[in-house]
């Protein structure tokens, strides 16, 4: 909004009836009267600084968010790779044990060889062979070699 102000001190002269500035006391003939916003340059400067700060804050937020998303995607792909590796290791261990069971002729051979392989695999792959995998393998073995209760293979889970 355009208002009259003193040319010397910048005092707002809206509603003033005298021929002198109420602030600095100079006559308007000497000081002059200007029309416009007194602080227009200051407001423009402040507005530019505020806009620049806002731009920097928004840019930092966008950059930070983008870096977080990229990091999360990278971690997710690494986790997916680790899971796929663990699953393929588990499959190969089970396949190896089933091949051993298939190649054996007697329950006694199977019992000795399987325990030996399980001990070795537990050392090499501590997380690859779970109790449910062991139970699944035992069901497979019991189907191949049905045993009398006195000859049953000792289970890891105590069952």
The structural domains of the chain, with segments of one domain joined by +, span 3-38, 42-150
Please answer whether residues 117 and 95 qualify as being in contact, where contact means their C-beta atoms are separated by less than 8 angstroms: no
User: Which among 2, 4, 37, 1 is positioned nearest to 23, based on CA atoms?
Assistant: 4
Parallel, antiparallel or unpaired: strands 33-36 and 3-6: antiparallel
How do residues 3-57 score in pLDDT, each as one tens digit?
788 888 878 878 788 888 888 888 877 777 777 665 556 677 888 999 999 999 9
> Over the chain, what is the mean pLDDT?
73
For residues 156 and 145, which has the higher predicted lDDT (pLDDT)?
145
At 124, the pLDDT band (50, 70, 90 cuts) reads low
Instruction: Name the region of 37 (left: φ>0; alpha: ψ -120 to 50; beta: rest).
Output: beta
How do residues 52-105 score in pLDDT, each as one tens digit?
999 999 888 888 888 888 888 888 888 888 777 777 777 777 777 777 767 766
Predicted pLDDT at 106: 63
């Amino acid at each position: 909004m355009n208002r009259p102000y003193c040319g010397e001190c910048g005092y707002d002269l809206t509603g003033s009836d005298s021929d002198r500035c109420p602030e600095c006391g100079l006559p308007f003939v000497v000081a002059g009267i200007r029309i416009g916003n007194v602080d227009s340059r200051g407001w423009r400067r402040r507005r530019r600084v505020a806009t620049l700060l806002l731009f920097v804050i928004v840019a930092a937020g966008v950059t930070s968010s983008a870096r977080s998303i990229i990091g999360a995607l990278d971690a997710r792909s690494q986790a997916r790779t680790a899971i796929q590796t663990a699953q393929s290791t588990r499959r190969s261990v089970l396949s190896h044990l089933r091949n051993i069971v298939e190649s054996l002729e007697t329950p006694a051979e199977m019992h000795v060889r399987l325990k030996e392989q399980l001990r070795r695999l537990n050392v090499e792959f501590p997380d690859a062979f779970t109790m449910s995998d062991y139970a699944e393998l035992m069901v497979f073995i019991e189907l191949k070699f049905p045993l009398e209760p006195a000859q049953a293979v000792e289970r890891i889970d105590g069952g």
